[in-house]
Structure 1
Amino acid sequence: MKHIAQSWKALLVTAALTLPSMAFADEPAMMKGGMMVDHKGMTVYTFDKDEGGKSMCNGDCAKNWPPMMAPAGAKAEGKFTPIKRDDGTMQWAYDGKPLYTFVKDEKPGDMKGDKMKDVWHVMHESQK
């Protein structure tokens, strides 16, 4: 029984040390190698047709360009803000620009959507 209690204590201490690093970061994306990536390392894009902090990518567009979804009641500091989509869900925006990933990017570092139809662009540090 003493061994179980000690193991349980060790588990609790490990969890207490690990959980803060697993919590949702204050910022939904970060800069890596001069471009913005999500927390999985996938490239983040902006869409030229978005205006006034509103996403114009819905329906089939959002299937190909998944919005970076924000949890309900999300709050962020700095230039990251949650915006409401047409379907009522929340999406992250940076400096008023809604953020997306691209369905054809298969692994971190892929940028297959950059300059797609001249309206999709990788979010670069120069835009930050």
Structure 2
Amino acid sequence: MAVGAALAAVVTLSACAPAGYEPADYGNAAEPASNDVAASPGAEPAEGATAEPTAPADPADAEANTPEISDELATTSLTASKVARMGKTVEDQDGFVLYRFDDDKDDPSKSNCNGECAEIWPAALTNDSEPTLKGIDADLVGTVTRADGTKQLTLKGWPLYKYIGDKKPGQWKGQNVGGKWFVINPDGTKNLTCLPAISKPVAPPSDAEAEGGEAGADDTGGDYSY
């Protein structure tokens, strides 16, 4: 009976894995995920301390300091699409599946993926032009200012990302990476239709890859927490 159960688990996982991936690619610890993300507790002020009043930021100043991004880096459309085994997804103008990150915040929106994390999970950036929407409620789409001043598209408050491990449109190899990254549904919730075991992210691109080389298909990150 134990052998039969193990084989059944392998078959189920194989059917769920993206094309070209084996169950082993996802590690060993399958864990359930929840659409509910616990809010991080806020810092409490020390007893007797008083907060210094701060002047409200001038929106015009913030706008003037927003870095302009190239057309190649901009996400110009969001499309609700269906892909094999996963079902509902949101794709960019090139057909790449978009993700959300559990360590981010949705109310108010905040991206906590910077530095090397952003090299593995490129943000869906915009120059404040409204993306073309297909099957996406415009009321759910917004932007958030990242740590570097660029604008990132959000869906129901959640910042949107691509995954460099996805090598072609329609792939979703970023599903459940680190137990924190999930394909996003057109309504902003996590798509948990297929939940492979938790896996490590691919390694950040090397200098050669950044200059136009190709990353190895099996390059996986080490102790990255994103």
Smaller-chain TM-score range? 0.7 to 0.9
Counterparts of 1:28 and 1:97, CA distance in 2: 16
Cα distance, 1:117 vs. partner? 0.7
Render the CA deviation track for 1:67-105: whole Å, top value 9, x for unaligned.
00011x334642111110010010000110000000110
Identify unmatched segments of 5+ residues in structure 1: 1-26
Cα distance, 1:125 vs. partner? 3.9
Q: How many residues align?
A: 101
1:30-69 → structure 2 map (5 Å cutoff): 30-33=79-82, 34-51=88-105, 52-69=108-125
Cα distance, 1:122 vs. partner? 0.2
| Superposed structure 1 runs of 4+ greater than 6 Å apart | none
CA RMSD of aligned residues (A): 1.8
Identify unmatched segments of 5+ residues in structure 2: 1-75, 83-87, 132-137, 191-226
Identity within the alignment, %? 33
Task: Write the letter of the residue equivalent to 1:64.
Answer: I
Of structures 1 and 2, the one with the larger relative CO (CA 8 A, separation 6+) is 1
Matched, 1:74 2:135: no
If you compute each CA radius of gyration, which structure gives the higher value, 1 or 2?
2
Cα distance, 1:30 vs. partner? 1.2
Matched, 1:92 2:159: no
Name the one with the larger strand percent. Answer: 1
Residues 125 and 75 of structure 1: CA distance in aligned 2, closer, same or farther (over 3 Å): closer
Matched, 1:28 2:77: yes
Task: Write the letter of the residue equivalent to 2:98.
Answer: V
Match of 1:83 in 2: 144
